[in-house]
């Protein structure tokens, strides 16, 4: 009983599996996750449900691909499931291989099994190398490779680099992604309310709904950042879903909520928008130091507050 | 021979098939297409390739879904294939059914075949009605239903309402889309350079790349519209794809390029942006009259030009 | 001795005299000044010096004329003398008469003595009624009339309506101001640090220096107000004086520093500007209730702060 | 007779006299005026009336002082007299002397005659050097000196440097202006409709009335310049004069109306404002080359127009 309790209370991590996915590679970058239980799940919804239920302390999920753009399922899930917080960001290079059952040659490949996003990222190579191929969509990059061993519907599969360590497949071609610099960005999501400490190289993620009672609302939202010197590294529109023309925006702002200029922008956003979801402030994966004009230094903000307090006699 | 010549020169239309898709329903709304050859194709790329090659005079393609957002494959194709023009817009309500092989009951369904977008739009119903289902992605809504008759990998499929008129399947449930008001927006794309005449209820579609040499570029782009009183009905970011943080924007502006305020905004955009793709001005599907402040009436623009011409002695 | 001490400690008021000026009429509107000592002084500098030295508890000074604009001497004095506060605003209609020594007729008038501002406000009438007149500038409207009795350099003087109650002059013409609705705005200035309580009909006066290290600074300053829904009833540029192109702005904002939206705009200004002089929040003379969008209600600001405090764990 | 006809048709120039004023020094900088008739007049109104009537081809008038700010009489006259054009700009350093009747010493000076603007510019020196002086206002800097020889009301006068070349006075002190870099800016005004050719170092002067039907109008006006990369070297508010809170703005924009970005800003202003007065484009006195981002080069504008013309099939 004691040991079973220990098991249930040991922190577990959920990720889009199975073993070999880019998501697993992202989770492998988290020192705290080493040696802990890893739950392989089938989709983003399951991963976040694990966090909500407490089955896992955190889930690793893909949030943006440098070629394909935002992962809309992730963005929409974060918009709809309350009380989640991003606590870390991780980058994984997108490196694809074309794999097949042992003994297959490239010339024999007609039908390619691939996750639609992976297929899109390798389309140029495929059209050049296998002009008349057909495509069978699969639910994950690893599932595509795995299915080669289960049935012969497809002749080959697009899989993450390194897949041959997990499955008994033959690598027909490596480095087949059209953009050799493609990267997928992952975030680690938990239920904690505690903000990671500012590091000087942070991001703050938000989902902001635009008020629909006026034109120029997007312009006005952007000014909340611009007038505080806060740069955005991501801005993506998503339909709210009830009717055309209503949007929420998924935003990554440079800096931490404890930076005065970011905090002030948050106040401005919250006053402006009918709904702001604060998804967290956390260290950037690329470790790039946040640059900002000295006009927006913390001291400028605290001085202004002191000045106003004196005027108001507070 | 004469008849074969007639066939090749008769205008044809391409659409995402097979028969029964929402895209076919959209094409059915085009009076000019009635009685002409319709080419059923497998994806947006093929549809647009038909237009480029001259095989078809126009292609009907989905561009936005009120729940799922912009169809990114369409947006990216329009950004990358030159010389295309949108000449019309069409709306089709999104009505889904769950269908199965004859004799199947809902209780027997475990694996559901569905196009990912359709799956996302029915997810709520599925999670409630078939909690432990698995999902196999298919390349089109109709293909999902058709595959039921070809193999037994899946037990049921999500299909457009009315599919039973085309395939010998059993309807297990109707109206399963989570949002009963969901609509998909389609556009008819051709190579013509001729602008449809302004109707007073028009849209102008654009793809605008942001300059990357300055912050606040999105703000500045939006001001090009705001300072001319031009409202936007769609604005969607898409990664340019070479690195994180570089975006192009897919935009629908209210009004026609022959409206002075829209023309002036186009000039402003073109000066601002390294790349502006003009996708066309065309009548809106919803027939809503474009409203604008009288500050931005055509006469205001022509008066100002006459005033300046006198100053410059032109 | 006791009585002399009482005299020195009794509150006195300074104003641009002598008796009969519009400034005196403004001071007569201040209930607290009734029955107190009134010091008649010669210019704005003297009036403010009385406040600084403690000779007077407050000084009444003209700050804006509806026809001639801001009184630049006042604006510059308020910019340069520290620790002054405006505590009240008063309006006096501008009504001028042409007066002369007893026995003079209008036909005999060649040279008109007048304060330059008064002269400018009656210029239309003068050019029509006395086409070939000459102008001698005087230091105040009353001094112009008084000088008629001291020397015969001028034949007539422009004086405030009612001057004949104070001086033995003949009124040649009344209502000679070109704009019958002209009004002069006066402010009561003191050294107190105490803010008058908000009344719902208040003004906040500021002098803001623009940073000179960037273009668009004025635009940016105005956005500090616009993004908080604060309207301006006065904005006037004044050269800082060291070189062309450097300005400070004299601003009256609608609302009180204790209104959340005004307080937040003050914070924004202070962060933006190298120098902000807070001249006070005080009741408006016209008693017009400050209107603002409910988007900028106080509760919106306090809610936003509570929301941020929770995020930050403060 | 023939010669008298020649005299009447020879171009004449008007300026605020008499000989010795800064305005005369400005006119002396105009090569075309050398050897022509110069009319000395008493005020800006007379100078402009000479231009309107054709008595003079042009008038030299002061428009801005680096210390005191815009000359409001000039600004208001240019706003109210139609069909005038600025064709040149001239700078004159403000150098003042204290002069007196021959034999007077500084210690004997009690009363100083001075034009109010000159007095304000020397106030610091006067307060230090003659602490208890009195001030008599005069209508011009030269008139102040001249009056010393006509009567003994004043003991000394503030006069432009060099006055002793015109009047038999003693210079008691030189360089008495508080700001040694003070400069007055003059403009040459005519009725011509012909624009001086662009030189690459030009100014465009405007008077723009703000629409009063909306808040944020000033912000919007400034955006007309900012969105075309046009810098302003002068912006000064002037009351329209009918009621508080309504303003026109006197503006100097960098560049020439034949510069594409300036022309486009003019179009934007004209559309925005109920009244725009174009006062001219002319070479800058300081010969500083107008700088602008290459984003706003002429070619950018002409390219954009060509692009739009192709879209519109024009």
pLDDT at A4: 40
Residue C9, strand partner residues: none
For an interface test with C, which of A271, A306, A308 has the most C Cβ atoms less than 10 Å from its Cβ? A271
Q: Does A220 sit within 8 Å of C308, measured CB to CB?
A: no
B156-160/B111-114 β-pairing: parallel
Question: Contact at 8 Å (CB) between B78 and B188?
Answer: no
Identify which has the larger pLDDT, D243 or B194: B194
User: Residue for token digits 């002036």?
Assistant: B264
Residue C27 has a pLDDT of 97
pLDDT at C109 over 70: yes
Q: What ipTM is given for this predicted complex? A: 0.85
Q: Three-class SS of residue D185? A: strand
| Residue D100 pLDDT greater than 80, yes or no | yes
Per DSSP, the residues of B241-257 read SSSTT-EEEEEEEES-T
Instruction: Please give the Cα distance from B146 to B150 (Å, whole number).
Output: 7
Neighbour count for residue B215 (Cβ, 10 Å): 15
* CB–CB contact D245 C234 (8 Å): yes
Model confidence band, residue B9 (pLDDT cutoffs 50, 70, 90): low
Going along C17-176, which residue ranges are E strands?
A: 37-41, 58-65, 69-70, 85-93, 96-101, 111-114, 134-137, 156-160, 169-174
Backbone angles phi, psi at D93, to 5 degrees: -65, 145
C300 CB near a chain A CB, below 8 Å?
A: yes
**Strand (E) or helix (H) holding D47:** helix D44-53
Q: Establish if A224 touches chain C: CB-CB under 8 angstroms.
A: yes
Angle, alpha carbons A73-A77-A81 (nearest 5°)? 175
The confidence score (pLDDT) of residue D157 equals: 96
Please tell me the distance from the alpha carbon of residue D212 to that of residue D222, in angstroms, as a whole number. Answer: 15
Task: Tell me whether D268 touches chain B (CB under 8 Å).
Answer: yes
Third-level CATH fold of A11-93+183-193: D-Maltodextrin-Binding Protein; domain 2 (3.40.190)
Per-residue pLDDT at C1: 38
pLDDT confidence of residue D159: 94
Which of the residues in chain A have pLDDT under 50?
1-8
Q: What is residue C151's DSSP assignment? A: -
Using one digit for the tens of pLDDT, what is the confidence trace for D271-288?
999 899 999 999 999 999
H/E element, B186: strand B183-190
Query: Is the distance from CB of B285 to CB of B196 less than 8 angstroms?
Result: no
Angstrom distance (rounded) from CA D281 to CA D206: 9
* Contact criterion met (CB < 8 Å) for C247 and D235: yes
Write down the architecture of domain C1-94+182-192 according to CATH: 3-Layer(aba) Sandwich (3.40)
What dihedral angle (degrees, nearest 10) is formed by the CA atoms of D119, D124, D129, D130? 50
**pLDDT per residue as tens digits for the range A87-121:** 999 999 989 999 999 999 999 999 999 887 788 88
E strand or H helix at B100: strand B96-101
For residue B108, what is the DSSP state? G
Q: Which residues of B touch D312 (CB under 8 A)?
A: 195, 257-258, 263
Question: Is there an interface between A and D (3+ Cβ pairs < 8 A)?
Answer: no
Evaluate if residue C95 carries a pLDDT over 60: yes
Q: What is the pLDDT of residue D214?
A: 65
D305 to chain B, minimum CA–CA distance in Å? Answer: 7
Give the tokens for residue B19.
């028969």
Q: Is B197 helix (H, G, I), strand (E, B) or coil?
A: coil
DSSP secondary structure string for all residues of B152-183: SS-SEEEEETTGGGTS-EEEEEE---SSTT-E
Task: Give the separation between CA A69 and CA B272, rounded to whole angstroms.
Answer: 24
β A12-16/A58-65 pair status: parallel
Cα-Cα-Cα-Cα dihedral sign, residues C105, C107, C112, C118: positive
Grade residue C9 by pLDDT with cuts at 50, 70 and 90: low
Read off the tokens for A73. Answer: 């399922």
Protein fold of C195-314: Alpha-Beta Plaits (3.30.70)
**What integer pLDDT is reported at residue D213 of this predicted model?**
61
- For residue range D181-225, list pLDDT tens digits in order: 888 999 999 999 899 999 999 999 999 998 876 668 888 899 899
d(CA A55, CA A58) in angstroms, rounded, equals 9
Q: According to the model, what pLDDT value does residue C285 have?
A: 94
* Global confidence as pTM: 0.83
Choose from A58-67, B176-185, D40-49, D104-113 the range with maximum mean pLDDT: D104-113
In this predicted structure, what is the pLDDT of residue D9? 59
Cβ–Cβ < 8 Å for A94, A22? yes
Quote the percentage of chain C above a pLDDT of 70. 96
- C-alpha to C-alpha distance for B262 and B252, rounded to whole angstroms: 11
Phi and psi torsions of D111, nearest 5°: -110, 130
Closest Cα in chain D, distance from residue B41 (Å):
30
Give chain A positions within 8 Å (CB) of B223: 219
- Listed in sequence order, the DSSP H helices in chain B are 2-9, 22-27, 44-53, 72-80, 116-129, 141-148, 217-226, 260-272, 298-312
Which chain D residue lies closest to C215 (C-alpha atoms)?
D231
Residue A107 φ/ψ, nearest 5 degrees: -65, -20
Q: Is the dihedral of CA A29, A32, A38, A41 positive or negative?
A: negative
Of B257, B272, B301, the CB nearest to D271: B301
Interface test with C, best of D239, D265, D296 (most C CBs within 10 A): D239
Kindly state the average pLDDT of the residues C167-175. 95
- Give me the residue label for tokens 């000045």: A307
Q: Put residue C153 in one of left, alpha, beta given phi > 0 → left and psi -120 to 50 → alpha.
A: alpha
Annotated domain spans of chain D = 10-94+183-193, 96-174, 195-301
Inter-chain touch B239–A116, beta carbons under 8 Å: no
CATH of C96-174, one of 3.40.190.10, 3.40.50.1370, 3.90.1150.10, 3.40.50.720: 3.40.190.10
| Domain A195-308, CATH class in plain words | alpha beta
CA-derived radius of gyration, chain B:
23
Tallying the residues shown for chain C, one arrives at 314
- Would you tell me the crossing angle of helices D298-312 and D260-272 to the nearest 10 degrees? 60
State the pLDDT at residue C213.
61
CATH 3.60.20.10 fits B1-94+183-193, yes or no: no
Question: What are the beta bridge partners of residue C65?
Answer: C69, C184
Round the average pLDDT of chain B to a whole number and report it: 89
* Tokens standing for residue D120: 């304000």
Burial classification of residue D228, based on how many CB atoms lie within 10 Å of its CB (0-12 exposed, 13-18 middle, 19 or more buried): buried
Contact status, residue C224 vs residue C272, Cβ threshold 8 Å: yes
Q: What is the three-class DSSP state of B274?
A: coil
> Shortest CB distance from B312 goes to which of D220, D257, D307?
D257
DSSP 3-state of B105:
coil
Secondary structure of chain A in HEC code, one letter for each residue: CHHHHHHHHCCEEEEECCCCCHHHHHHCCCHHHCCCEEEEECCHHHHHHHHHHCCCCEEEEEEEECCCEECHHHHHHHHHCCCCEEEEEEEEECCEEEEEECCCCHHHCCEEEECHHHHHHHHHHHHHHCCCCEEEECCCHHHHHHHHHHCCCCCEEEEECCHHHCCCEEEEEECCCCCCCCEEEEEEEECCCCCCCCCCCEEEEEEEECCCCCCCHHHHHHHHHHCCCCCEEEEEEEECCCCCCCEEEEEEEECCCCCHHHHHHHHHHHHHCCEEEEEEEEECCCCCCCCCCHHHCHHHHHHHHHHHHHHHCC
pLDDT in tens, B240-283: 877 777 788 999 999 999 999 999 999 999 999 989 999 999 99
CB proximity C270 to A under 8 Å: yes
Class (C level, CATH) for D10-94+183-193: alpha beta
CA distance D85 to chain C (A): 22
User: Measured between beta carbons, which residues in chain A are less than 8 angstroms from residue C223?
Assistant: 223, 227
> What would the pLDDT profile of A22-78 be if each residue is shown by its tens digit?
999 999 999 999 999 999 987 788 899 999 999 999 999 999 887 777 788 889 889
| Tokens at D122, concatenated | 């020397």
Q: State yes or no: pLDDT of B1 exceeds 60.
A: no
D10-94+183-193 shares its CATH topology with D195-301 = no
Per-residue pLDDT band at C4 (split at 50, 70, 90): very low
CATH superfamily of D195-301: ACT domain (3.30.70.260)
Q: How far is C141 from chain D (nearest CA, A)?
A: 14
Q: Give mean pLDDT, residues D129-143.
A: 82
pLDDT band at B16 (very low <50, low <70, confident <90, very high): confident
Burial class (CB in 10 A: 0-12, 13-18, 19+), D167: middle
C88: its two tokens:
């009240």
Cβ atoms of D225 and D219 closer than 8 Å: no
Percent of chain D with pLDDT over 90: 59
Do you know the residue count of chain B?
A: 314
Residue C295, min C-alpha distance to chain A (Å) = 7
* Token pair listed for A19: 């073993």
**B4, pLDDT greater than 90:** no
B31-83: pLDDT as tens digits: 999 999 999 988 788 899 999 999 999 999 999 887 777 788 889 889 999 99
Residue A91, strand partner residues: A185
CA distances from A49 to A39, A56, A77, A185 (A): 12, 9, 10, 21
């Amino acid at each position: 009983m004691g040991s079973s309790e220990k098991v249930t209370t040991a922190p577990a991590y959920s990720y889009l599996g199975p073993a070999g996915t880019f998501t697993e590679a992202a989770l492998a970058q988290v020192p705290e996750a080493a040696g802990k239980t890893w739950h392989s799940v089938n989709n983003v919804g399951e991963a976040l449900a694990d966090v909500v239920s407490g089955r896992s302390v955190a889930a690793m999920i893909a949030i943006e691909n440098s070629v394909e753009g935002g992962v809309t399922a992730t963005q929409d899930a974060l918009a709809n499931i309350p009380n989640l917080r991003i606590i870390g960001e991780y980058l994984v290079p997108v490196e694809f291989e074309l794999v097949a059952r042992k003994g297959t040659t490239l010339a024999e490949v007609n039908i390619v099994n691939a996750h639609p996003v992976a297929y899109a990222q390798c389309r140029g190579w495929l059209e050049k190398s296998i002009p008349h191929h057909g495509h069978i969509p699969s639910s994950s990059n690893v599932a595509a490779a795995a299915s080669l061993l289960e049935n012969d519907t497809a002749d080959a599969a697009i899989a993450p680099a390194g897949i041959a360590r997990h499955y008994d497949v033959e690598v027909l071609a490596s480095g087949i992604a059209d953009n050799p610099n493609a990267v997928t960005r992952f975030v680690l999501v938990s239920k904690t309310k505690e903000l990671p400490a500012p590091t000087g190289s942070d991001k703050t993620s938000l989902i902001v709904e635009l008020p629909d009672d006026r034109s120029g609302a997007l312009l006005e939202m952007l000014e909340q950042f611009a007038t505080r010197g806060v740069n955005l590294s991501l801005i993506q529109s998503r339909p709210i879903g009830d009717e055309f023309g209503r949007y929420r925006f998924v935003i990554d702002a440079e800096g931490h909520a404890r930076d005065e200029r970011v905090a002030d922008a948050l106040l401005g956003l919250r006053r402006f928008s009918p709904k702001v979801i604060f998804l967290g402030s956390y260290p950037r994966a690329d470790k790039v130091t946040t640059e900002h004009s000295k006009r927006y230094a913390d001291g400028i903000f605290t001085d202004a507050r002191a000045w106003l307090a004196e005027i108001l006699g507070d």
